[in-house]
Amino acid sequence: MTLDVRLLGPLEVRVDGRPVSFPRGNATTILALLLDDAGRVIPMSSLVSGVYGDDLPLDPEAQIQNTIGVLRRQLGMARDRIETVGRAYRFRIAATELDTLRCKAKESRARTLRREGEHDGAAAVLREALAEWRGPALADLPGRAAGAIGRRLDEYRLTLLEQRIDADIESGRAPAAVEELRQVLAVHDSRQRLVGLLMRALHACGRTAEALDAFAALKERLADALGADPNRELVDLHTAILRDQPAEPVAAQAEPVAAPAVPAMLPRTTRRFTGRESEIRALDKFLMDAGSEAGLAAVTGMGGVGKTALAVSWAHRVAHRFPDGQLFFNLRGFDPSAPVARPEDVLGEALAALGVPAERLPAGLDERAGLYRTILAQRRVLIVLDNARDAAHVRPLLTTAPGSFTIVTSRDRLTGLDMSEGAEVVHLGLLSEADSQALLARRIGPERAADDRSAVNRIAAACGRLPLALTLVGSWSAADPALTLNSLADRLASTGNLLNVLVSTDHASDPRAVFDSSYQLLGERDALAFCLFGLHPGPSLTPAALASLMGAPLAEARAALAALAEINLVDRYPGGRYGVHGLMREYAAECFADEVLDVERRAAALRMLEHYLFAAHRAERRATHRFDQSHVHPGAPAPGVFVELVVDAPTWFSAERAVLHGLLRVEAGFAADLRIWELGWVLAERSLDRPDELLSVQTAALAAAERRGDAFEQAVSLGYLGLAHHGLGDAAAARACGDRAAAFAERDGRTWTRGFTAYARAAAAGRDREAQTLRARLASLPIENRGGSAPHMP
């Protein structure tokens, strides 16, 4: 069963000489995508992106699978040429059965003949290659994907044409070449390689003045259209013609170094790369949308989230689309062990990789950038700029070369590249639970992971789904098969600070070192704001809460959060909230303990308590007007506390629930104990229908009251504890708390205190009618002027 497949013109497929027709639309688009990468595995994500772009139908993968079935049915006896490889497909075809592969084979044969001096033979082989074109490639197929493939293949035809004309000139057919070149340049008048060939052909015919005129005309066109000068090879050719020296072949000069003229600088990737399918689809789409233009994409995210791994893995997948090579540079923008790479140094490395000899390397940044862009102007190159500091760091390294593509990774959000350079941005978050577990399984071995899935799940959760932590822990486990997964999970779960466990001698693999490289770049204000996330007990906070923590104006807190979010040290959440990853919070707590003075730590904790106490007090009064809240008078806040206005109390309490409960366990010294107890009192009634929560809240409140030695406060907390034990079904504990509460009420001596403990004891004993009567009386009974000393509240 033989095939004859043609892309270089209208799409044609023949099986044993008989033409095969396919439904136009998605079927022919998928066929073109498979044939464009014939012999290679094409992931499902690439096919989905190529066919649908952003306009995804319901279950696009099922649609692709159905269409693959249609293609196989149409191929009949050749249906097995479309192979399923996992969640991907491959079109298996011989080099002689596909016109694009025949062209590449002939191009390679011609290159060999030219090296051997057989220019006539090389020209003849290249004519055969060019004869494969029957018109514009895939011209009959609609859609962006087919259009992008067709434009690239037609660009390849021009490259072959240039090689064939070059071989003709070397064979002594310069006069014929002049006329052909003038016709081609009428359409492609700024293509420097074609102008160089015309100059050589004219010079070989003794028409030197016309050759110089061709150079001058091109120089004027480039200046008008691009503000650029002709490339170095063309300038050297112009000089040689002026001196009436033999002109070197342009083809040889276009590739300054013989063997390594096509750089292949991508670092090694790994088969263990896991997940990120939606991000890969986005990058595939960006590449396809760029078409023949210069594409630019950015991958941003916190340290350790896997930006480099994604960029390198994706770059290897698409490297074959860039015949002139791949450049990779670590810009060290957030490197804990090396200085930031200067753009001029990176450009020097790039120019060397592109074949510029050291003696011809310009000295200045602008000159190097200009030469870099000039050399790339006629090449299709993939450029990976890893670990950039910010947008300004990479701007000198960007190219406008048609068909080239640049991908940048950074902890900075690179909003400058998005706004001014039109970069497409992919923000990389944590792995999903399933991908986290899959990554661990790949590291420790699928059989071992399958034997104890529960432990794998616990390890993934302990690592917070951060790829850096997962990879490190997975490597340890793989290196020590005797360590059971359950033991490892227990160790991770029991540690007080996971950063002390996740330690590596390699700074690039040590989370603490990775985070530190970002933290060290912060100014004083932003560093303090970041440290305070280590004090704050909840998963997220508002700018108003941070303003109180900092003791600074709200505008300062907002500016600090914006700066921290810009380099992905904190994350923006819906509703104007900000949070950090669990490991990052532990690192912030370390920084807070190491760099903030003890007296400042206590003051920040007290401001934080007061911020939430005042907000909770106002919200509770607005929401319920419950009887005891009229008796809580927190007084005036400490200097620097921003009192937040709560409009929607239920929503606010829901958003801040974890924070409020965490605050009850903040260690802030004796001065904060009153505020902790008051917060517990504000939260008490809101927890009555959740006895386990009421128990937790009032246990913390009672501890603060006991440290203060206040009878009133202990009576109130013990009364609520009795209600909590009653709700949990522990009658004995409820009675014991009620008895203790009554004893403290007698010591306090106020009628309100005695009434409250009587109400609490009746409710805890199940005497509901009595409890309701006592509660109604308490609602209108003030605490003040009821015997004994006033409660310890301002």
Residue 138 phi, psi dihedral angles, 5° rounding: 50, 30
Q: Give the architecture (CATH level 2) of 277-427.
A: 3-Layer(aba) Sandwich (3.40)
Q: What is the pLDDT of residue 407?
A: 96
Alpha carbon separation from 725 to 57, 206, 417, 698 (Å, rounded) = 54, 107, 59, 11
Q: What is the pLDDT of residue 787?
A: 35
- Give the C-alpha separation, 280 to 160, whole Å: 32
pLDDT digits (tens, 9 = 90+) for 369-388: 888 888 888 788 999 999 99
Residue 572 phi, psi dihedral angles, 5° rounding: -85, 130
Q: How many CB atoms lie within 10 A of CB 216?
A: 11
Q: Is the pLDDT of residue 254 over 70?
A: no
Q: What residue type is assigned to position 352 of the chain?
A: A
Q: What is the pLDDT of residue 669?
A: 63
Average pLDDT over residues 177-204: 87
Q: How many CB atoms lie within 10 A of CB 786?
A: 16
Q: What percent of the chain has pLDDT over 90?
A: 34
- Give the C-alpha separation, 130 to 69, whole Å: 34
User: Which CATH number is associated with domain 522-596?
Assistant: 1.10.10.10
Q: Confirm whether pTM is higher than 0.95.
A: no
Spatial strand order of the sheet with 295-300 comes to 326-330, 382-388, 405-410, 295-300, 424-427
Q: What is the pLDDT of residue 442?
A: 83
Q: Is the pLDDT of residue 60 over 50?
A: yes
pLDDT digits (tens, 9 = 90+) for 443-476: 888 778 887 888 888 888 888 888 888 888 887 7
Q: How confident is the model at residue 340 (pLDDT cuts 50, 70, 90)?
A: confident
Spatial strand order of the sheet with 12-15 comes to 3-6, 12-15, 18-19
Question: Which structure tokens are listed for 555?
Answer: 């505008």
Question: Which structure tokens are listed for 164?
Answer: 């064939």
Q: Which carries the bigger pLDDT value, residue 258 or residue 681?
A: 681
- For the ranges 6-20, 82-96, 232-246, 421-435, the lowest mean pLDDT is seen at 232-246
Q: How confident is the model at residue 786 (pLDDT cuts 50, 70, 90)?
A: very low
pLDDT digits (tens, 9 = 90+) for 226-236: 666 787 778 88
Q: Is the pLDDT of residue 783 over 80?
A: no
Average pLDDT over residues 197-209: 88
Average pLDDT over residues 597-601: 85
- For the ranges 18-27, 229-238, 578-587, 681-690, the lowest mean pLDDT is seen at 229-238
Give CA torsion, residues 541, 543, 544, 545, to 10 deg. 30
Question: C-alpha 726: how far from its chain's center?
Answer: 50
Q: How confident is the model at residue 246 (pLDDT cuts 50, 70, 90)?
A: low
Question: Which structure tokens are listed for 471?
Answer: 């990879």
pLDDT digits (tens, 9 = 90+) for 661-707: 989 888 766 668 889 999 999 888 888 889 999 999 999 999 999 99
Average pLDDT over residues 322-341: 85
For residues 456 and 467, is the Cβ–Cβ distance under 8 A? no
Q: What percent of the chain has pLDDT over 70?
A: 91
Q: What are the boundaries of each domain within the chain?
A: 277-427, 433-509, 522-596, 601-794
- Calculate the average pLDDT of the chain: 85
Q: What is the pLDDT of residue 760?
A: 92
Spatial strand order of the sheet with 42-43 comes to 42-43, 88-91, 82-85
- Give the C-alpha separation, 438 to 617, whole Å: 46
What's the per-residue H, E or C state across 81-141?
Answer: HEEEECCEEEECCCHHHEHHHHHHHHHHHHHHHHHCCCHHHHHHHHHHHHCCCCCCCCCCC
Tell me if the domain spanning 601-794 has CATH number 1.25.40.
yes
- Give the C-alpha separation, 205 to 193, whole Å: 19
Q: What is the pLDDT of residue 245?
A: 62
Q: How confident is the model at residue 624 (pLDDT cuts 50, 70, 90)?
A: low
Q: What is the pLDDT of residue 557?
A: 94
pLDDT digits (tens, 9 = 90+) for 103-161: 988 988 998 898 888 999 999 999 999 999 999 999 888 888 888 888 888 888 988 99
296: β partners: 406
